[in-house]
A and B are shown apart, each in its own frame.
Chain A
Amino acid sequence: MSSILVQVIVGGLLLGAVYALFSSGLTLIWGMMNIVNFAHGDFVMLGMYAAFAVWTLFGVGPFVGAPVAALVLATLGVIVYFGLIRSVMKGPMLAQILGTFGLALLLRYSAFWGFGANFLTLPGDLVGGTFDVLGIRIQASRLLAGVVALLVTLGLHLLLTRTSLGSKMLAVAEDSTAAQLMGIRPDTMQAIAWAIAAAATGIAGALIATFFYIAPTVGETLGIVAFVTVSLGGFGSVPGALVAGLLIGVIESVSAYEIGAVYKDIVVYSLFLCFLWFRPQGLMGKM
């Protein structure tokens, strides 16, 4: 294998890790309360702006920016849950879809109004620039995003499967009335789920901001991939999103290199549709 092809695959894996990180919050919300959050991409966009604000105001990178973004987004998540989700969940499916879609537009256009249309970027060497491993160039910022994607996935997985909070959250997801009878407050659990999921998107945004551009529409650009990642991985499965993200990243990179960049989406989406034909629940989802 030529060294350039290795570089293409490494690049694809790092890109895939970012997709996975980007998608983790989306899949968590679905797993907890069967809601597709169409504003997900715009949550990430706000995380990016939060990291940018931290850097502008205090001159520090994502090690401070990511926790701050997580906190800001967690707060927003709770507000969104009590302000919007709790009421639309009682309505028909369409109200839920359009509710979060409306939220997406509200956030996006507020960003246009508040931050302007100009593109922003963080300095490229904020997270240690780029280094060489056996002739393969690896961007430290992308590697960090990849490592954090793994940690976030692992953390969310452990939280759901190994802690009493996780069990309570899953209990509410399974049967909210029964959970209530057992002394669990569904409202609190779902608000916590929103806070955690939104915090994960905040972290994702802060890390993606170190190597991507920041603009009000960036959530839209990255958002479509997130939905594909989540449905390929299996709605609700956090580890599934990780595997799916890596898979999509590598397929995109290799097909863009071998066949051509304009064809990569055709390759990815046709493989995706074929896969769903055979396994509609996704890689690790349950029927």
Chain B
Amino acid sequence: MRLKRMLGLLCAASISVLLAGNVSAQDKTVKIGGIYPLSGNAASAGTHSKAAIETAVEIINNAHPELGNLPLAKNAGLAGLGGAKVDVVFADNQGSPAVGQNQALRLITEEKVVALTGAYQSGITLTTSAIAEKYGIPYVAGESVASSLTERGFKWFFRVTPVASDFARIYLDFLKDMKAGGAKVDNIALVHENTEYGTSVASVITGVFKDNGLSIGLDIAYSANTTDVQSQVLQLKDKQPDVVIMVSYTSDAILFAKTMQALDYKPALMMADNSGFSDPSLIKTAGKLVQGIFNRSSFSIGPPGSPTFLINEMYKKRSGDDLDDTAARTMQGFFVLCDAIDRAGSTEPAKIQAALKATDLKPDQLIMGYKGVKFDEKGQNTLASGLVIQLQDGEHYVPVWPKEKAVTAPVLPYKGW
């Protein structure tokens, strides 16, 4: 009994300390909610996103004049709010749209965040942003690419990343270029996971290719947390497509890499749609099995001393890995959100929303290789763009297309292991 009472007292004491802390810090910090998969199958990607946002917070809250024109870097805190510090409350979506939704609700109603960012998986961005829309809280998505997200007529949703249709066009032009160079690209197989992300990206790619004279001959859908992909690889081996395009998360991408080697299957040209095949933990564990795979990206670390190089160094200290495209897009999304809050000069949702609508960032103010950031009426960044990269040595992706952005020429055929 006595123990119980003491525990109760302790709890009460710690709660009041927490509350007191909140009150005194309230006018000096801007609370933002970040919803990411910190556990579950996509936890590897989620923790990298979290490290990216924490790096951004470090840059914003401290003076970093060495980072050039990057907004919010020069001075400590948000100048527009009298030097207020940014504080991110992270929530774990556990890889589930329902959990994500509950977390969004909790962040808005209990943590009183002024804006949300997230949620890596498109299927979870779908549900979390619906809650933000309902409560009139600005939501900035840095990395989710499913086209449907900006087709819902939402007023509080803004997306910085290029979307599936932009990438489909990049793939199309790239493959046509490869064809002009003598590669066979007539028979294309599309292998995709079956949640919002894989399904919508696959349907956009299929549509864009069809309208432009390339057709998808084989469409293989599978569940991302599958235990085995032997049958899928054997389907490919049976049909022998010229090109295989993979739309995968990390765990399934690792299984595909290992199974393709075990069953001795390699197509002449293999492409991946970011995500799983961009995850640093895939490159570490299975990169040597997928040498020569093409991928999309909008980020490059840049020459030593450049702002992106310095940011990568800061990020590396935190996460142990180089900044990959996905985590970099997360970070860019967060910078765009904080820049808007800074310009709004207020934490009032409507003012942040207005500032987001007025966003007009130039290429030299970004860490990504976008042509800028400017939102259309749907909340989509119209200046987002990307390029094709290749994992030539199994360890580092290098830009290979288009020519003006390429560091080296694309190498064919696909090498594998």
Contacts and interface: CB of A to CB of B under 8 A. Distances in A.
Contacts of A139: 262
**Residue of A118, A121, A142 with most partner-chain B CB within 10 A:** A118
Interface string A95-129: 00000000000001100100011111100100000
Contact of A117 (B47, B231, B258): B47
A65 B120 CA distance: 36
B285 A121 contact: yes
B238 A117 contact: no
Interface residues of A, number: 39
B254 A119 contact: yes
B44 A121 contact: no
B223 A257 contact: no
A188 to B, nearest CB: 33
Nearest to B37: A117
A7 interface: yes
Contacts of B286: 121
B234 A119 contact: no
Nearest to A259: B231
A120 B238 contact: no
A42 interface: no
Interface in B354-372: none
B26 interface: no
**Residue of B38, B46, B263 with most partner-chain A CB within 10 A:** B263
A7 B234 contact: yes
Interface in A201-233: 211-213, 215-217, 221-222, 225
B285 A120 contact: yes
Interface in B302-355: none
A213 B282 CA distance: 10
Interface stretch (A55-63, A86-94, A157-165, A260-268): A260-268
Given A221-B251, A261-B231, A262-B194, A119 B262 contact: no
Contact of A261 (B40, B223, B258): B223
A15 interface: yes
Contacts of B44: 117-119, 215
Interface string B29-68: 0000000001111011011000000000000000000000
Contacts of A252: 228, 231
B47 A8 contact: no
Nearest to B417: A124
Interface in B201-244: 220-223, 225-232, 234-235, 237-238
A167 interface: no
Contacts, number: 112
Nearest to B41: A217
A217 B43 contact: yes
A253 B194 contact: no
B178 interface: no
A262 B250 CA distance: 18
A130 interface: yes
Classify the secondary structure of B's interface with A. helix
Contact of B262 (A121, A211, A262): A211
B231 A11 contact: yes
A109 B194 contact: no
Given A4-B234, A211-B262, A261 B254 contact: no
B227 A260 contact: no
A225 B47 contact: no
Contact of A256 (B43, B225, B231, B280): B231
B231 A262 contact: no
**Residue of B220, B258, B280 with most partner-chain A CB within 10 A:** B258
Interface bracket on B: 35 or more
A15 B43 contact: no
Nearest to A264: B231
A112 B43 CA distance: 9
B285 A117 contact: no
B281 interface: yes
B417 to A, nearest CB: 8
A4 B222 CA distance: 19
Contacts of A211: 258, 262
A120 B280 CA distance: 11
A221 B41 contact: yes
A137 interface: yes
Given A8-B231, A261-B229, A121 B258 contact: yes
A149 B75 CA distance: 62
Interface in A243-287: 252-254, 256-257, 260-262, 264-265
B221 A262 contact: yes
Given A221-B251, A261-B223, A118 B258 contact: no
Given A15-B230, A257-B235, A262-B223, A216 B258 contact: no
B225 A137 contact: no
Nearest to A11: B230
Contacts of B41: 215, 217, 221
14 contacts: A4-B234, A11-B228, A11-B230, A116-B47, A117-B46, A119-B282, A121-B286, A130-B262, A137-B262, A215-B251, A217-B39, A221-B251, A252-B228, A256-B222
Interface of A: 4, 7-8, 11-12, 15, 108-109, 112, 116-121, 124, 130, 137, 139, 142, 211-213, 215-217, 221-222, 225, 252-254, 256-257, 260-262, 264-265
In the A-B complex, list the 6 residue pairs whose CB atoms are closest, starting with the nearest. Answer: A117-B43, A256-B231, A261-B222, A257-B231, A11-B230, A121-B285
